[in-house]
């Protein structure tokens, strides 16, 4: 089974900061990697799919990159709404695997 490892687990940042979250897979995903944002008590929201495609309605400050087994989510200028938990998702096969999550906190 594929293992998805996110880093860091927690990130403290300020409004306006550039933030990068990394997701490493135990085997190649061929670009089938997505990113989600989840606020407390809410359902997850799809931000990025197929490594770098921005989901409709998602602000352009969010971007994704990577290939093979290493992927990143970048928030170019952190906004108050962005303090949340972020998850990567492997969907290269029929089953799915989430990373353990990265909580972005206010510094």
Partner 1 sequence: EVRLMESGGGLVQPGGSLRLSCEVSGFTFSSYWMSWVRQAPGKGLEWVANIKVDGSEKYYVDSVKGRFTISRDNAKNSLDLQMNSLRVEDTAVYYCARDWNGSGHPMDVWGQGTTVTVSS
> Minimum distance between the CB of residue 55 and partner 1, rounded to whole angstroms?
7
CA atoms within 13 A on the CB side of 81: 6
| Tokens found for residue 83 | 């303090």
Which residue, 18 or 50, is less far from partner 1 as judged by CB?
50
Which residue, 69 or 100, is less far from partner 1 as judged by CB?
100
CA-nearest of 27, 18, 24 to 5 is 24
Omega within 30 of 0 (cis) for the link into 8 = yes
Site for partner 1 in 69-98 (CB under 8 A): 85, 87, 89, 91, 94-98
Question: With binding defined as CB under 8 A, does residue 49 bind partner 1?
Answer: yes
How many CB atoms within 10 Å of residue 64? Answer: 23
Binding site for partner 1 (CB under 8 A): 1, 32, 34, 36, 38, 43-46, 49-50, 53, 55, 85, 87, 89, 91, 94-101
């Amino acid at each position: 089974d594929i293992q998805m490892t996110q880093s860091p687990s927690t990130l403290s940042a300020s409004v306006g900061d550039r933030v990068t979250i990394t997701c490493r897979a135990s085997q190649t995903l061929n670009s089938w990697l997505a990113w989600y944002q989840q606020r407390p008590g809410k359902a997850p929201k799809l931000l990025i799919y197929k490594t770098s495609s921005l989901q409709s309605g998602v602000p352009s400050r969010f971007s994704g990159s990577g290939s093979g087994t290493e992927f990143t989510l970048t928030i170019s200028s952190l906004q108050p709404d962005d303090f949340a938990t972020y998850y990567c998702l492997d969907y290269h096969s029929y089953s799915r695997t989430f990373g353990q999550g990265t909580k972005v906190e206010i510094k």
